[in-house]
Amino acid sequence: MKILNFFRKPSFARGVHPLQHKETAQTAIRRMPFAPRLVVPMSQHVGKPSKPIVCAGQEVLRGQVIAVADGYLSVPAHAPVSGIVEAVDLRPTLSGEWLQSIVIRAYEASSQEVLYGEQIDVDLLSAEQIIQAVQDVGMVGLGGAAFPAHAKLAAPKDYPIEHLLVNGCECEPFLTADHRMMLEWPQHLVTGIQFAMKACGAKRALIGIENNKPDAIAAINNILPADSNISVHAVKTKYPQGAAEMLVKALLGREVPAGARSYQIGVVMHNVGTLAELGRLIPRSQGFIERVVTVAGPGVTKPGNYLVPIGTPLRFVLEQAGVTNESVEVILGGPMMGSAIASLDVPVTKAISGIVVFDRSAMEASQGNVHPCIKCGECVNACPKGLNPSMLGMLAARREYDVMAETYHLDGCFECGCCSYVCPSHIPLVQHFRVAKQVVRERQAA
C-alpha cells in the first residue's frame, strides 16, 4: 500500500471535478490600454474605506497616492493613470452599492510608466517595516477576499507562526491569472514569499499548486535553491482545493477548528498573486494600481489574461476582450463561486481575478428546470464541509433559517457551490444558503 501513497496527491475529502476550461493558461499576460475615464472606489477592501486627499480639477500622476488609509484595517489608493480628477463623489460599484469614488479623466497620452516610487533595499527592512510597506502598497488579498494583506501578516503575538501557506491552486474553472503569474513572475513570487515570511515570522513556506499546472510547478522549482525553506507541493486537481481549509488539510494534514482563524494553528495563508505583486512592487515602493484579470468564457472572442488598471469600467474591459454581443451573462470570479452582475458600468476593483462571459441562452439552458429533491444524496457526497445540503435546502424552502443555523451548521457552509453543481434536480442550493445566511446575520444584528 505504501507505494500507492507515493502516487497519491495530497487533497481533502469529497469535492467535485468540473470541466476546467483553462484555455487561457497558454496566453501570456497582456497590458490593457487606458479607458478614457477611470473610477477608483474608496472601499475595495475589508475594513474602513480609504480617505481621498485629492479634489476635482487636480492633476494626478500614475502611481501617486490619491487616498490614504483610514486607520489600521484600511489601505491607501493610488492613481492608476495620469490625468485630471473630475469628481470625488458617489458612484455605482460591483456590489450594487454607490460608494465614494475618485473619478479620473485619463490624459490621452498617459504613459504606462509609473511616476512614483523609488528603489529601496528591502534587506534592511525589519518585520514591522515590511508590514508597513505592504500597507503602503495598498495591497489586499487578491484571491477574492480583499482583506488588507498587511493585517493578515501581523498575527497576534501570542500565536507564533510556523508556516506560510501559499495558495496557487486556482481551482475555479476558466481562471488562469494566478497560473500565468507563477509562470511569468516566479522571481517576484519568491521575493514576495521571503518578505511575507520575514513579516509574519514563518520558518517554512509551502506553495500548494494543483497538479494540472506542471509548468508553474517547474518554473518555481527551477529558481529555488536546494536548501530553500520554501517548497512547492503538487496537490490533487479537485474543486474546491483552493479554499483555505482544504489547502491547510492538503498541505499540513491539519484542520482549522470551527470558529478559529488559521493563525491560531500557526498558519498564515496568502494567494500567489498577492505575494507576486508584493515582490514586484515593494522593492520599487510603488502602489498597487493594476492587476491581472482573466477574461474568458464562450462569449469572449479575445480571451486572455490582461493587466487591467484598477478603476477601468467593466464595459471597456469586455470591449477590449472582444465581447460585442450585449446579450451575455457576466460572472465575476469563476462560475462556481462567482456572481452574476447587473451592470457593466462599474469599475474593476482590486478583488476581481476573473470575468467569465456566457451567452445568456446557453447559460439558461445549462441551468435546466428546477425539480423536487429526489433524495439521491449526491450533494451530501460532494460537500467538502460534511454538511447535509439536501436537508438545508428543504429547510430553506420552508424558510426555517434559524433551524438551519442552530441544528444544521449553516455557518459552516462557505458557498463553494459543489452541492448545486451535482444536484440532478438543478436546485440552486448555494443561492438558498446565501439568502439564509444573510437573513440569519440580519436577525442576529437586530
Nearer to ligand SF4, 163 or 432 (CB): 432
Identify the residue whose cell numbers are 450594487: 96
User: 133: exposed, middle or buried (C-beta count within 10 Å: 0-12, 13-18, 19+)?
Assistant: buried
CA 41/CA 310 separation, integer angstroms: 9
Nearer to ligand SF4, 218 or 376 (CB): 376
Site map (CB under 6 A) of ligand SF4, residues 213-252, x = contact: ----------------------------------------
- Which residues in 422-441 contact ligand SF4 (CB under 6 A)? 422-425, 427, 429-430, 433
Site map (CB under 6 A) of ligand SF4, residues 383-422, x = contact: x-x-x-xx--x-------------------xxxxxxx--x
Backbone region of residue 131 per phi and psi (left: phi > 0; alpha: psi in -120 to 50; beta: other values): alpha
Pair type for strands 37-41 and 98-106: antiparallel
CA 306/CA 294 separation, integer angstroms: 6
The reply on whether position 336 binds ligand SF4 by CB under 6 A is no
| 3 state DSSP class of 343 | coil
Task: Please report how close the Cβ of residue 397 comes to ligand SF4 at its closest, in angstroms.
Answer: 10
Q: Are 219 and 148 in contact (CB under 8 A)?
A: no
CA 215/CA 168 separation, integer angstroms: 12
| C-alpha torsion 157→161→167→172, nearest 10 | -60
| Cell numbers placing 41 | 472606489
| 3 state DSSP class of 186 | helix
Task: Please report how close the Cβ of residue 437 comes to ligand SF4 at its closest, in angstroms.
Answer: 10
Nearer to ligand SF4, 78 or 385 (CB): 385
| Cell numbers placing 119 | 528603489
Among 136, 245, 329, 378, binds ligand SF4 (CB under 6 A): 378
CA 157/CA 141 separation, integer angstroms: 21
Query: Count of alpha carbons within 13 Å of 442, Cβ hemisphere only?
Result: 7
Task: Please report how close the Cβ of residue 418 comes to ligand SF4 at its closest, in angstroms.
Answer: 4
Nearer to ligand SF4, 143 or 313 (CB): 143
Nearer to ligand SF4, 342 or 374 (CB): 374
Nearer to ligand SF4, 65 or 413 (CB): 413
Identify the residue whose cell numbers are 489547502: 247
Nearer to ligand SF4, 307 or 391 (CB): 391
Q: Are 309 and 32 in contact (CB under 8 A)?
A: yes
Strands (E) in 194-258, as ranges, are 204-210, 230-235
Among 377, 397, 406, 438, binds ligand SF4 (CB under 6 A): 377
Nearer to ligand SF4, 35 or 429 (CB): 429
CA 356/CA 358 separation, integer angstroms: 7
| 3 state DSSP class of 418 | helix
Binding residues with ligand SF4: total (CB under 6 A):
29
Site map (CB under 6 A) of ligand SF4, residues 131-160, x = contact: ------------------------------
Task: Please report how close the Cβ of residue 393 comes to ligand SF4 at its closest, in angstroms.
Answer: 5
Nearer to ligand SF4, 114 or 430 (CB): 430
Task: Please report how close the Cβ of residue 172 comes to ligand SF4 at its closest, in angstroms.
Answer: 13
Task: Please report how close the Cβ of residue 382 comes to ligand SF4 at its closest, in angstroms.
Answer: 6
Nearer to ligand SF4, 32 or 427 (CB): 427
CA 77/CA 68 separation, integer angstroms: 7
Task: Please report how close the Cβ of residue 155 comes to ligand SF4 at its closest, in angstroms.
Answer: 26
Sign (positive or negative) of CA dihedral 281, 293, 223, 166: positive
Q: Rule CB under 6 A: which residues touch ligand SF4?
A: 373-379, 382-383, 385, 387, 389-390, 393, 413-419, 422-425, 427, 429-430, 433
